[in-house]
Amino acid sequence: MKILSTDGVEDMIAWLPHGHAFTIVNPTAFTSTLLPMYFKKTKFTSFTRKLSRWGFVRYTKGLKSGAYHHKWFQRDNKSLCLHMRCVQNKKPAVARQNP
C-alpha cells in the first residue's frame, strides 16, 4: 500500500478511481524504478506471481482490464490489509523414495 501512496508514481502505478483496485501504468518504469525500492526481486513476473500468492486477481476484461484487485486491499482503508494472508503452494509435496 505504501508504494501506491508515494507522491509522483502515478505514471507507473495508480489506484483506479473507485480505490478498490490498482493498475501498473508503465511496467518498464515500475520495474526499474519502484520495484528495487520496495522488493528484493526486481523482475516484473516475480512481482505479479507474488500478487497472485497474496490472493490478488487480475481483471482481464472491461474498463478495469489489467488492474489488480483484492477484497482486503483498498485505498484509504489500511486496516483491511491485516486480514490478508499469503496463499501457500497448493501442490502437495512429493515424498522422495530411496532406491
85 within 8 A of 70, measured Cβ to Cβ: no
Q: How confident is the model at residue 58 (pLDDT cuts 50, 70, 90)?
A: very high
DSSP reduced 3-state for 3 = helix
Whole-model pTM over 0.85: no
Average pLDDT, the chain: 83
What's the 3-state SS for 61-76? CCCCCCCEECCCCCCC
User: What pLDDT, on a 0 to 100 scale, did the predictor assign at position 39?
Assistant: 83
For residue 98, pLDDT over 80 is answered with no
d(CA 58, CA 47): 13
